[in-house]
Structure 1
Amino acid sequence: MNFTIRKAAVLGSGVMGAQIAAHLANADVPVTLFDLAWPEGDGNRIVKKAFDGLKKLQPAPAVKHDRLQYIDAANYDSHLEQLRDCDLIIEAIAERMDWKNALYARIAPFLPATAIIASNTSGLSISTLAEGLPEALRGNFCGIHFFNPPRYMPLVEIVPTPNSDAAMLDRLETWLTTRLGKRVIRALDTPNFVANRIGVFSLLTVMRHAAAHDLAPDTVDALTGPKIGRPKSATFRTSDVVGLDTLAHVVATMHGTLSDDPWHACFQLPVWLQRLIEEGALGQKSKRGVFRKQGRAIQVFDPAIGDYRDSRDDVADEVAATLGMRDPAARMQALRNSDHPQARFLWAVFRDLFHYCAVQLGEVADNARDLDLALRWGFGWAQGPFELWQAAGWRETAEAIAADIASGLSMSGAPLPAWVMDAGRGGVHTAEGSWSARRNAHAPRSTLPVYQRQLFPELLLGEAGARPETSGETLFENEGLRLWRLPEIDPGIGIVSIKTRMHTLGSSVLDGMQAALIKAEAELDGLVIWHDAPFAIGADLKEIAAALEAGRTAELAAYVERFQQTTMAIKYAQVPVVAAVQGLALGGGCEFAMHAARRVMALESQLGLVEVGVGLIPAGGGCKELALRCARWAAETGTASELLPRLTPAFLAVATGRVAKNAFEAIDLGYGERSDPIRLHPRELLFAALKQARALADIGHAPAQPVRSVPVLGRAGIAAMEMTLVNMQEGGMISAHDHRVSRAVAEALCGGEVEAGTLVDEHWLLAVERRVFLELLQTPETQARIRHMLDTGKPLRN
């Protein structure tokens, strides 16, 4: 049965409702955003104010401001008739059961019998909410819990009621996955569902043990962030971002609804945190919470002194060394055996988290996979709790937890479930599936057809599944890349996967790419360039620096020419080449993508020609391609005078090293074409790219022909662009070398020192790129920038 959502409605234009509407618009779904009617004048004033808020919010909810044109403003008094045209209605008003039920009663007469109706509640009972709807509509009702911010956080929890139609849930999960790019968990209808139940418990556990070990919030955040595989916001900064009042509401829900939970006494915030809330210090939204900014300094509230002080990183060297150990089992054992308060704190945090997850698994999730993925996707953890436990040694850790429970050291005296100690158990994630305490068996992954589009799904530690580096049939391989194919998917389309660190483009990659293209032209129908993010961060600076320091000028010239030959070989291949772009595609990586016949881009891809950051210009054909595209766009208007207005934004983007924030912006900047598909789910990228290459091949791919005649702006264009640079240098915004580098960009885009209107070919433009690139390489300032980037990872302004 075909299923599509032609139009959606979001009820409630608060922070979450407005952002959900924006993400629907990102996916080209028309949406009507409802709220209460303003009592006088424009009845849609509340929603329109929400629109204004969306434009200012950071990170931006909409990929481009023009996406907001897909959102219509409405109010409950005047526009409920519009619900009759909606296939999906998402309620996202305040977390009050009585308010939600009153709204359901009001909208019920206008709801189509076939529409999906969902509540974005973060923890209220979905079954109880369903009772507010007419019985005939309850089969199409469920929970649909987005995480904040909806555009960026991948997790959506679907929460069914006993009456939810199974086919409807499958259709909704499929649509959320492939259209909105979400990672879906089927949650149980228990308080706070999966991610918030475990994630908030983890926050409370950290706060409780921080007090017991006399650790200040800044030290706690230094210990519970990236050092243990969690986001930079760690614990207290995460609380500030979420909002201390919001966190307090979630904790209150847990305390009020989980009276039988063995950890019930722990469901409360520290007294000092409650006082901050009472004072209006609610976190990021009030510009003060656990942390605040004073001038350039970040200050933290220290409960020990009852006031703010400058934040610092007080992680002990001994504990930092332990957390740096590569073996997770040895690391966990070292934390258990240490007498240092910070190590004892971390062990206690892990112990009580593992203990809670084991005891509550059967209540909060269908299986351990769902629980772990919920924490990965909803809280940004690198590994879920059960993964961490399994990596640390399942039985040894379980025995240590049991010993602490027996000694009264754990937060609860509840015994570990019998399944934890089953003979032979090495963890919960196995080749057969992930353990389900509810089923008393291992649960396999979903068999919904939508997941067949994810050729290499995200795997948990211990799970069996295909991995790209060991899959398929290898056709060619060298040190830099592998050419392979998936015969069961499409034996005629090859896949090029770069193997270097961060997918840098050194000599081995260039040589390998040319060899792969020759083989593809002889034996295949098409080629896809794909690997996990990043797509490529550019040329191999170490290789360039080594040649510079050794004075091997001829080698550098040959390297640049080889790079250009490679990108031209991609562009003019006899078979279609599709670049599957995910994550960063910078410098030479952006140039590789620009020369492909098509790009299939993940929504949040970031493309940019950033060579100015190391005192260079794009010389792999990037400037040449922008010049060609701008000339083509100008020609489409029929006036030569349009060339400078087209080239100027391209010049400014390259001269400032601007990186597109998403795939739509990359197309606007000229790094892609309007015909390039954009996928919201990055795990579907390879599937889509293979299909795109096959489609191009099947319709009779006609290789592009070299451009022999293109008008350039020459000296006049360079002079026009240099006027901007002079003003910037006189204003102290750029240095003399910045000016020189940016002028070189202008020269490459304008075809060099020739008369305006001169007709040149691609090879001329490449020669200009190559010449100014090599000239810049010989300057002490550029060489210093390259060395500084290699040493620090940051650009040097000199």
Structure 2
Amino acid sequence: MTNFIVKKVAVLGAGVMGAQIAAHCINAKVPVVLFDLPAKEGAKNGIVLRAIDNLKKLSPAPLGNKDDAALIQVANYEDNLDLLAGCDLIIEAIAERMDWKHDLYQKVAPHIAPNAIFASNTSGLSINKLADGFDAALKQRYCGVHFFNPPRYMHLVELIPTAATKPEILDQLEAFLTTTLGKGVVRAKDTPNFIANRVGVFGMLATIHEAEKFGLSCDVVDDLTGAKLGRAKSGTFRTADVVGLDTMGHVIKTMQDNLADDPFFAAYQTPAVLAKLVEAGALGQKSGAGFYKKVGKEIQRLDFATGQYVAGGGKAADIIARILKEKDPVKKMKALRESTNPQGQFLWAIFRDIFHYIAVHLDTVADNARDIDFAMRWGFGWNVGPFETWQASGWSQIATWINEDIAAGQALCDAPLPAWVFEGAVAEKGVHTPAGSYSAVSNSFVPRSSLAVYERQPFRAPVFGSGAIDGKSAGTTVFEDESVRLWHCDDEVLVISLKTKMHVIGEGVINGLKMALAEAEKNFKGLVIWNADAAEGGAFSAGADLQAALPLFMQGGAKAMEPGIKLLQDTFMAMKYSNVPVVAAVAGLALGGGCELALHASKRVASIESYIGLVEVGVGLIPAGGGLKEAAVRAAKEAQGTDILQFLKTGFTNAATANVSKSALEAKKMGYLSASDVIVFNPYELLHVAKVEARAMFDAGFRPPLATLVPVTGRYGWGTIKAQLVNMRDGGFISAHDFKLGEMIAEIVSGGDVDQGSLVSEQWFLDMERKAFLELLNHPKSQERIMGMMQTGKPVRN
């Protein structure tokens, strides 16, 4: 195996996608140079500089840390083509026009290093045609690499070879995209719009067609086709607005221009309503109006009949919402198929259309059914892929129904389902089996890719029916109850996985942690805290289990809560001083007690998408699991004898304002992750990296830190922060209760009523945290906040 190391990337084109791809390379610490045309006036690199400036304003943020925008090197095609010689990967991301791309290629080709990979981020143009005119050597190193918008957050990248692309080029690129940039790679064929856009845009067109047929408005359709179907909550029309109706029109045109002999060709007509909006300059979100328009605070929807905007907010009918809650997919699909409600008939129709489409096109657009499912899950935000849905709903029954609809003239075209749908193992089970997923080209079941990079993913993204083991049942279970599972895979590392909802921390989790620490010290090299849904968007831990603690509080008041809080503090301290390394594998939300759990581990391995913070003030409380203690300890360590207060401000502000990191990179800046903590870009690799770290620490002679006394700022620090809080309260920036909470936090992180420079123990902070927490539990304003959060899930400002 030879290492393929990408030392530098060039991105050609500083438009929306190009600039964001460059930003994501910087997130991953890959040096990048961003090119565009020289500006006609002002600074020559003005176009690129404006694009970089815009990255800081975009939401969701393309950069994990805004300050890193400065790390993108700027360039233009007139003066800086020589920079290409130092790049191992060049990604072209200019507008979707074949002639423009060819002009640019002629300009850059002579400057590309002999071993560099050259790729286009086209969303649908033919990769083979784009490579026309290249010499043979460059043709072998050229391919399509299609990121989805926004590139930092969308997991999918489609990799498309030309007829001449060398296989090892694709393997190298797949490994880089998977580990370094954290992507899910699907290999696509060189067909118009590749896989995700081909199926996804067809799905949107079919949805618009069926919505018109059944007389449904866009807000009702979005309610039906969003979260209720386990898809992106923006549904169909809102998604089109976000993507841009002109962009959508462009993708549809690619289908019209290149798919004349497709049996579904009639369905690729640009919907009249879309054409009208584009003509009127209503291009969706970017132009302020599309299928929706914001008028004051109200979101209005387009009335298809009149072309006017009217009040929105239409929702699914109760009976249909109930059907969609049905857990059994077989019953759910049967109920939709048999429904007499137009919304039910509409939903059956859009499922039928997509099933019909993917069956007819499987042999031409993808190598196998799994690739179509992953493309839709990772590129369009579907929880379940279309083939998976079909198989889970009863393969042969659905196939029969589709054929009945085709015969009755209700389908979008009269092409029959291909014969393979009714033959052999597919007819029995469906397209996904433990042996692999069905390929219509080779008429066989194709196993998963065996590239070395996937050895880093102990539990790869599963597909329904593949029988793959997952993190919920893998390995050898040491102990399991309804709160936790302790397990291992015979690799010297014990894993504790939390099983509570959002992995909240109650008595069961704390007892599980105590048991895990004892077991790890006795029989293992380390302990990893990792949750089975870490890669599927689950939380690390959303904090303390308030719901479970409520009955105890109702019966015995704040005093009854004290033993539980003491147990939590003691267990976190036992973790900090454990004799084997404890590694927290953080992904998603780590809030309140979840943040404190991570802070007390020996090391943290965090997914880039980690949202970490002490948020207790939102429920009128203060952190009581050692979060404020850690802020004080870390500030003292950083200050190294200089004024601690300067270093304490960050920790105080984070806790007092319930500030949550928007990425793991930002969490480092906020002090919730330390410089030596590891950031992982692919969430499927989190467990692997955490175990490697735990074993390496043990093998390097791990010892827990020695307990030391902590120098504090005392009354001086407390007084200084309090003075600023007084100004904020008197200026009306914070409420009286916010002031009380802020002052309590200031008192604790400063070490309380002691002289500046006093030395106190960690226990001293913990006792102060616990005392303040219990006092607040009895406070009516805090109780209002707790009840408000439990009832509405939103913080109460009182």
Out of 591-600 and 458-467, give the one that drifted further.
Answer: 458-467
- Correspondence for 2:601: 596
For residue 633 of structure 1, give the secondary structure of its aligned residue in structure 2: helix
What is the alpha-carbon distance in structure 2 between the residues aligned to residue 37 and residue 553 of structure 1? 67
- Correspondence for 1:350: 351
Q: Deviations over 1:699-737 (max 9, x none)?
A: 100111112x22212222222222332233233333222
Q: Deviations over 1:491-548 (max 9, x none)?
A: x211111121211111111112112111211221111111123111111102322111
Matches within 5 A, 1:681-760: 681-707=682-708, 709-760=709-760
**Residues 598 and 676, structure 1, Cα contact 8 Å, conserved in 2:** yes
What is the alpha-carbon distance in structure 2 between the residues aligned to residue 276 and residue 39 of structure 1? 32
Give, as a single letter, the amino acid of the residue that structure 1 aligns with 2:23: A
1:40: how far off? 4.7
**Residues 28 and 70, structure 1, Cα contact 8 Å, conserved in 2:** no
Give, as a single letter, the amino acid of the residue that structure 2 aligns with 1:407: A
What is the alpha-carbon distance in structure 2 between the residues aligned to residue 131 and residue 369 of structure 1? 31
1:41: how far off? 4.8
What is the alpha-carbon distance in structure 2 between the residues aligned to residue 41 and residue 514 of structure 1? 64
Is the aligned partner of 1:611 residue 2:616?
yes
Is the aligned partner of 1:632 residue 2:637?
yes
**Residues 355 and 401, structure 1, Cα contact 8 Å, conserved in 2:** yes
Out of 36-45 and 175-184, give the one that drifted further.
Answer: 36-45
What is the alpha-carbon distance in structure 1 between the residues aligned to residue 482 and residue 347 of structure 2? 41
Paired-residue identity, %: 53
- Correspondence for 1:459: 462
**Residues 600 and 685, structure 1, Cα contact 8 Å, conserved in 2:** yes
**Residues 513 and 571, structure 2, Cα contact 8 Å, conserved in 1:** yes
Is the aligned partner of 1:470 residue 2:473?
yes
**Residues 10 and 32, structure 1, Cα contact 8 Å, conserved in 2:** yes
Residues 597 and 551 of structure 1, relative CA distance in 2, 3 Å threshold: same
With structure 2 as the length reference, what TM-score do the two structures score? 0.97
Is the aligned partner of 1:307 residue 2:312?
no
What is the alpha-carbon distance in structure 2 between the residues aligned to residue 430 and residue 369 of structure 1? 10
**Residues 785 and 795, structure 2, Cα contact 8 Å, conserved in 1:** yes
**Residues 11 and 32, structure 2, Cα contact 8 Å, conserved in 1:** yes
For residue 469 of structure 1, give the secondary structure of its aligned residue in structure 2: coil
Is the aligned partner of 1:431 residue 2:434?
yes
Q: Deviations over 1:392-450 (max 9, x none)?
A: 11111111110000010101000000111125422111111111111101110000010
Is the aligned partner of 1:264 residue 2:269?
no
- Correspondence for 1:137: 138
RMSD: 1.2
What is the alpha-carbon distance in structure 2 between the residues aligned to residue 550 and residue 159 of structure 1? 63
**Residues 143 and 160, structure 1, Cα contact 8 Å, conserved in 2:** yes
For residue 732 of structure 1, give the secondary structure of its aligned residue in structure 2: coil
For residue 184 of structure 1, give the secondary structure of its aligned residue in structure 2: strand
Residues 41 and 342 of structure 1, relative CA distance in 2, 3 Å threshold: closer
- Correspondence for 1:77: 78
Is the aligned partner of 1:546 residue 2:551?
yes
**Residues 559 and 774, structure 2, Cα contact 8 Å, conserved in 1:** no
What is the alpha-carbon distance in structure 2 between the residues aligned to residue 656 and residue 283 of structure 1? 35
For residue 605 of structure 1, give the secondary structure of its aligned residue in structure 2: strand
Out of 476-485 and 612-621, give the one that drifted further.
Answer: 476-485
What is the alpha-carbon distance in structure 2 between the residues aligned to residue 170 and residue 149 of structure 1? 24
Give, as a single letter, the amino acid of the residue that structure 2 aligns with 1:149: P
- Correspondence for 1:96: 97
Give, as a single letter, the amino acid of the residue that structure 2 aligns with 1:474: T
What is the alpha-carbon distance in structure 2 between the residues aligned to residue 104 and residue 132 of structure 1? 9
1:478: how far off? 3.9
- Correspondence for 2:782: 782
Q: Deviations over 1:334-366 (max 9, x none)?
A: 111111111111111111111001000111110
Matches within 5 A, 1:47-62: 47-62=48-63
Is the aligned partner of 1:493 residue 2:493?
yes
With structure 1 as the length reference, what TM-score do the two structures score? 0.97
What is the alpha-carbon distance in structure 1 between the residues aligned to residue 128 and residue 251 of structure 2? 19
**Residues 108 and 134, structure 1, Cα contact 8 Å, conserved in 2:** no
**Residues 104 and 132, structure 1, Cα contact 8 Å, conserved in 2:** no
Out of 98-107 and 558-567, give the one that drifted further.
Answer: 98-107
Unaligned segments of structure 2, at least 5 residues? none
- Correspondence for 2:449: 446
For residue 704 of structure 2, give the secondary structure of its aligned residue in structure 1: coil
Give, as a single letter, the amino acid of the residue that structure 2 aligns with 1:719: G
Matches within 5 A, 1:61-460: 61-423=62-424, 424-460=427-463
What is the alpha-carbon distance in structure 1 between the residues aligned to residue 616 and residue 742 of structure 2? 10
Give, as a single letter, the amino acid of the residue that structure 1 aligns with 2:789: M
For residue 728 of structure 2, give the secondary structure of its aligned residue in structure 1: helix
Give, as a single letter, the amino acid of the residue that structure 1 aligns with 2:520: A
Out of 180-189 and 714-723, give the one that drifted further.
Answer: 714-723
Q: Deviations over 1:729-787 (max 9, x none)?
A: 23333322222122111111111222222211111111111111111111122223222
Out of 548-557 and 764-773, give the one that drifted further.
Answer: 548-557
**Residues 557 and 774, structure 1, Cα contact 8 Å, conserved in 2:** yes
For residue 163 of structure 1, give the secondary structure of its aligned residue in structure 2: coil
1:464: how far off? 1.9
Give, as a single letter, the amino acid of the residue that structure 1 aligns with 2:594: G
- Correspondence for 1:794: 794
- Correspondence for 1:518: 518
Out of 776-785 and 209-218, give the one that drifted further.
Answer: 776-785
Out of 576-585 and 50-59, give the one that drifted further.
Answer: 50-59
**Residues 545 and 786, structure 1, Cα contact 8 Å, conserved in 2:** no
What is the alpha-carbon distance in structure 1 between the residues aligned to residue 548 and residue 412 of structure 2? 54
Give, as a single letter, the amino acid of the residue that structure 1 aligns with 2:224: L
Give, as a single letter, the amino acid of the residue that structure 2 aligns with 1:429: H
For residue 4 of structure 2, give the secondary structure of its aligned residue in structure 1: coil
Residues 560 and 431 of structure 1, relative CA distance in 2, 3 Å threshold: same
Out of 375-384 and 499-508, give the one that drifted further.
Answer: 499-508
What is the alpha-carbon distance in structure 1 between the residues aligned to residue 747 and residue 550 of structure 2? 24
**Residues 627 and 749, structure 1, Cα contact 8 Å, conserved in 2:** yes
**Residues 610 and 663, structure 2, Cα contact 8 Å, conserved in 1:** yes
What is the alpha-carbon distance in structure 1 between the residues aligned to residue 376 and residue 315 of structure 2? 27
What is the alpha-carbon distance in structure 2 between the residues aligned to residue 599 and residue 519 of structure 1? 20
Q: Deviations over 1:559-599 (max 9, x none)?
A: 11101001101100000111000111111111010011100
Query: Equivalent of 1:587, from 584, 592, 597?
Result: 592
1:65: how far off? 2.1
What is the alpha-carbon distance in structure 2 between the residues aligned to residue 165 and residue 689 of structure 1? 34
Q: Deviations over 1:664-694 (max 9, x none)?
A: 1112212110000100001000000000000
Q: How many residues are matched?
A: 790
Q: Deviations over 1:609-663 (max 9, x none)?
A: 111111111110100001000111111xx42x2x222112221211111111111
What is the alpha-carbon distance in structure 1 between the residues aligned to residue 771 and residue 200 of structure 2? 56
Give, as a single letter, the amino acid of the residue that structure 1 aligns with 2:794: K
- Correspondence for 1:562: 567
Is the aligned partner of 1:535 residue 2:536?
no
What is the alpha-carbon distance in structure 2 between the residues aligned to residue 480 and residue 341 of structure 1? 43
**Residues 11 and 90, structure 1, Cα contact 8 Å, conserved in 2:** yes
**Residues 553 and 560, structure 2, Cα contact 8 Å, conserved in 1:** no
What is the alpha-carbon distance in structure 2 between the residues aligned to residue 246 and residue 645 of structure 1? 49
Give, as a single letter, the amino acid of the residue that structure 2 aligns with 1:591: E
